[in-house]
Structure 1
């Protein structure tokens, strides 16, 4: 209909220009469930990305090691499921979440890990609790991350 090329110059009774409604639509609020869902997807992406430091030696490149160029987590395919591995991974995951996920309130991230029973064949499970930045009040979030030790894949799901 070629109406996009037509100039819009609508005026009210006082002669003032009327702005089209499509340009003045108020920003709608995002539902808490949508915020949680998007955060969960982004956490899964972060935790399933292998950092640059796993493939390249970053000794002497501290700025690169602490930058977005090193986004992700270390390669987890060689991890043996043990209580010590659970403690080390929980600490490492907390560091990575605080470094790369700005929607989480600093200092609120807690991660508790456990080795799943023998039927899970060496899987590790981490319970992630934090607060997500929101207005007017921060939103408490809780996720579970299951690590398949053989493949290094992490599955994140919401509680």
Structure 2
């Protein structure tokens, strides 16, 4: 079996959520494990402890990409309910997601507004991004845009032993409001 050699410099400590995701991927979260040593004492199974060990930068980026796609394609509560006077609700997980972007008009003013909202929502809900490092830059619109807005996003992702610079692209489809995240 070919294994890629890694050094301590390219291995990172995963967030706690990684353990739950790994158990889900392995489909073993609900399987009972009752390993015992010679003395009859219970031993924690290796497959349940391994997600807590170091992972690659690529694995961290993949998980971040999945979560960013979920965040950016979830419509927030404010799209359905008037949250005037409920500022704490507007900034809570109850309002997780983006405003409804379906049927937006792709123009420079809209692009600027969506860029501002993207930055605000990423800083509010994606806690792995280092505050103050999120930079959202909209790509200039041209005749070939075909109802699509593109944003280049740079930030730093918290990690141990060192933070990881991340850069990705978010394409907003004007008709459906779907956001595609790639190049992470």
TM-score category by the smaller chain? 0.7 to 0.9
1:44 counterpart SS class: helix
Q: Distance in 1 between matches of 2:81 and 2:142?
A: 35
Displacement after TM superposition at 1:22 (Å): 3.0
Which of 22, 25, 29 is equivalent to 2:45?
22
* In 2, Cα distance between equivalents of 1:45 and 1:151: 15
Instruction: Provide the rounded CA distance (Å) in 2 between the counterparts of 1:149 and 1:107.
Output: 28
State the Cα distance separating 1:18 from its structure 2 match: 7.5
SS of aligned partner of 2:85? coil
Taking the aligned partners of 1:80 and 1:132, their CA distance within structure 2 comes to 32
Retained in 2: the 8 A contact 1:40–1:158?
no
User: Does residue 50 of structure 1 match 2:78?
Assistant: no
Gaps of 5+ in 1: 12-16
Q: Decide whether aligned partners of structure 1 residues 19 and 108 sit closer, same or farther in structure 2, where only a CA change above 3 A counts.
A: same
Once the two structures are superposed, residues 87-121 of structure 1 have per-residue CA deviations (whole angstroms, 9 ceiling, x without a partner) of 11111110000000000000000000124432331
Instruction: State the TM-score, normalized to the length of structure 2.
Output: 0.73
Q: Distance in 2 between matches of 1:74 and 1:125?
A: 17
> Which of residues 88, 102, 112 in structure 2 aligns to 1:77?
102
Quick check: 1:98–1:109 contact (8 Å CA) kept in 2?
yes
The 5 Å alignment of 1:1-159 reads 8=36, 10=38, 20=43, 22=45, 27-159=52-184
Deviation at 1:60, TM superposition (A): 1.8
Shift, 1:68, TM fit = 0.4
Cα pair 1:111 1:126 within 8 Å, conserved? yes
What stretches of structure 2 of length at least 5 have no aligned partner? 1-32
| Equivalent residue pairs, number | 150
Work out the CA distance in 2 between the residues paired with 1:30 and 1:49.
28
